[in-house]
Structure 1
Amino acid sequence: MTNDNVMTPAAGSRPVPVAVSAVGAAATLVACTVQPYLPGGRDYLSSLGIVPDWAPWAAGVLGLGVALAIARGVARRPVVTVGWMASVLLLWAAVGVVFDAFRAFFWVTGIPAGDFAQVDWPGFLTRAVAFVAAVALARVVLAYQRVTGAGCDRCGRTAGAVAWQAVWPGYAACAAACVYPAVKLYWWLGGEFGRSADFKETGAPVMSALLLAGSVLLALALVRPWGRRLPRWMPLLAGWTLASAHILQGLIPVFAGVNRMLGGPELPFGSEGDDFLVIMAVYGSWSLFGLSLAGAVLSYGRRTRTECTQCGY
């Protein structure tokens, strides 16, 4: 166990898998390099000014730097700070990967979706690699914090510490999950407030209703006793996957705003009017749902965890 002034993990600590973050960062740089030369590119994200061109490059370079710093024993605080900065930049570079996944689903299944069945395959590759790299780097930074911190280097717990456990994030996720399906239902019933000109659905929003039901069931499984009957890995895997997707989607207006403040193009949405209000409500609800669900998953994991084999807590 060490502190911020000590450069290396304590003797006997679990090794930090720095190679994982190094490979992820390097793969991001390779994907950025080859993307312009790959066929099948379609511009449905870059022209919106959400992600600056330099973001994936900076994220890849910083990620490699963090891996090298950990291997060389650089002081803990700058490694952790730069590591989380690089993780956020990688997430920024990955914005839109959820849209890519949905487009790929319609492309593969052949379900009629118009232009939404067209996929920017080169961009999808870069965004997917950046997302995987962000997750990998975040896990490495967390592992490094544990082996150089005051708690157990395997589980992060400290003697006598009370783990945060709460069920309210699960119920908050249930409430936030209702916003987007409610908007779609309102439009389908003929409502015009905030209705996008691109919204051309003629049938009932069945898919949105199914997603709502699944999201609510998952959130409840994380906080209700009957959820304990499921294999522990199922709610954890489904919860983190769904939370990550919604947080990433919900951050789109935030990243677009930051890019604009840094000198990027005008925002793809105005600051006034019905469209702006609905965009904020929809993307805001996705963020709230993702964050609430992440809190519910974290609490569920702590309530159901077993005793650590290393520290006994």
Structure 2
Amino acid sequence: MTTPRHILAILGCGLAAAAITVKQTLPSLPPESDYTIGYAPWWIGLAGAALGALTTLRLTRVTPATRPAGAAPSRVPVVAAWAAATLLLWSSAGVVLDGFRSFFALTGIPAGDFAVVDWPGYAARFLSLVACGAVLSVVVRHSRGTRGGCAECGTVPADRASRRVPGLVTIGALWPYPLLKAYWWLGGTVARPTGFDEGPPTGELLAVTAATLLCLTMIRPWWRRTPVWRTTLGAGWAASAALTSMGALSVFGTVSQLLGLTDGPVDFDSRTGVVMVSAVYGGWLAAGSGFVVLTWRFQCATRPACATCTP
């Protein structure tokens, strides 16, 4: 059965594929400003969009009514949809940096090279992120329906499980990056980059503190009855998108550099490169994944129960 979720996913995949194709026909950034080195190759996004559209179409035809009695649901469309979402997430990697650059470009605040924006690439990466979220919405809803979820809203008991574990995991994954920079600023030498002369990581510490408070807000059960839960929910999904995109840029970019698919800034011959990739960049992806689980469970715990679903 086709639903608005399926339509949005197919439309998002189509727009992402179109934006990536247009991007390939336009001039690239000059070498001195090409900050997109290490980003996903163009064919990653096209493959993810094509696979996402095809699997979404397939899932519109895979329902309990279309299966023979007693037959187990096929896992192939679900696995393919998760693969498509992963490729689209990789394709979206870097959209957060694009957003920061566009802020300086549009406001005119002096930022030097950081005000240069790859606008066609920004559009392609943003639409890839939208398509990724839409495909995930379809496959998660489908998976809940095949696991004995509520016939009305699809919620399964696991959706309302405790938020403490994913919340604490997320908080633990958030802090290595600012703490490592603070350690270097204070004079620490372990894995310190050559020529490191940055000031105190004030911005990083403030951002991580805010994210930690957001996690604690969603962990505490009494917040579900307050009128600000919708704001909290929106902030949670925004943090999920930003952190998973940044984590994908770092982790997938590092893997593609190791495989020789792209160039990249990681120096694998140095101890610094290994520390940054494993303890810091991997932490961003872990924190983003934790935020997704935490925010989803917070959403399930705060939304009104349907007529047939027990909270």
Displacement of 1:82 in angstroms is 1.5
Q: For the structure 1 residues 17 and 250, does the alpha-carbon distance in structure 2 shift closer, same or farther, using more than 3 Å as the test?
A: closer
Letter in 2 for 1:132: V
Q: In the alignment, is the contact (CA less than 8 A) between 1:195 and 1:275 conserved in 2?
A: no
Contact 1:246/1:290, CA 8 A, preserved across alignment: yes
Q: Is the 8 A contact 1:220 1:227 kept in 2?
A: no
Shift of 1:231: 2.1
- Partner residue of 2:210 out of 185, 201, 214: 214
Provide the C-alpha distance between the structure 2 equivalents of 1:22 and 1:54, rounded to a whole number of angstroms: 18
Pick closer, same or farther for the CA change 1:29–1:251 going to 2, 3 Å.
closer
- CA apart distance, 1:193: 4.1
* 3-state DSSP of counterpart to 2:219: coil
Asked if residue 240 in structure 1 is aligned to residue 218 in structure 2, the reply is no
In the alignment, structure 1 segments of 5+ residues that lack a partner are: 1-8
1:235 maps to a residue whose letter is T
In the TM superposition, residue 245 of structure 1 has moved relative to its aligned partner by 1.5
- 1:33 maps to 21
After superposing the two structures, state which structure 1 stretch, 293-302 or 99-108, moved more: 293-302
Q: CA deviation at 1:305?
A: 3.9
Equivalent position SS for 1:67:
helix
In structure 2, the residue matched to 1:54 is 43
Alpha-carbon contact 1:16-1:140 (below 8 Å) kept? no
Q: What do you get for the CA RMSD once the two structures are aligned?
A: 3.0
Work out whether residues 239 and 293 of structure 1, in 8 Å CA contact, stay in contact via their aligned partners in 2: yes
Note if contact 1:40-1:121 (Cα within 8 Å) is conserved in structure 2.
no
The code of the aligned residue for 1:142 comes to V
Letter paired with 1:100: D
Within 5 Å, which residues of 2 pair with 1:57-72?
Answer: 57-72=46-61
CA positional deviation for 1:117: 2.2
With over 3 angstroms needed to count, the CA separation of the structure-2 counterparts of 1:148 and 1:123, relative to structure 1, is same
Distance in structure 2 (CA, Å) of the matches to 1:136 and 1:311: 24
Q: Is 1:177 equivalent to 2:168 in the alignment? A: no
Alignment size in residue pairs: 297
Residue 186 of structure 1 corresponds to which residue in structure 2? 183
SS at match of 2:75: helix
More deviation, 143-152/95-104: 143-152
- Matches of 1:33 and 1:265 in 2, distance apart? 19
Q: CA deviation at 1:115?
A: 2.0
1:94 to 92, 95, 100: 92
Aligned-partner Cα distance in 2 for 1:19–1:99: 29
In structure 2, stretches of 5+ residues that fail to align are 67-72
Deviations 1:107-132 (A, max 9, x none): 23344433222211111111011000
2:165 is aligned to 168
> Which residue, out of 216, 228, 232, partners 1:231?
228
Show the 5 A alignment for 1:1-313.
15=3, 17-38=5-26, 41=29, 43-45=34-36, 47-48=37-38, 50-72=39-61, 76-147=74-145, 149-157=147-155, 163-196=160-193, 201-202=198-199, 204-224=200-220, 227-228=223-224, 229-260=226-257, 263-265=260-262, 268-271=265-268, 272-312=270-310
TM-score by length of 1: 0.81
Matches of 1:118 and 1:125 in 2, distance apart? 15
TM-score w.r.t. structure 2 length? 0.81
- Residues 122 and 195 of structure 1: CA distance in aligned 2, closer, same or farther (over 3 Å): farther
3-state SS, counterpart of residue 149 of structure 2:
coil
Question: Hey, what's the Cα distance between the residues in 1 that align with 2:53 and 2:267?
Answer: 37
| Structure 1 residues 205 and 52, CA gap change in structure 2 (3 angstroms) | same
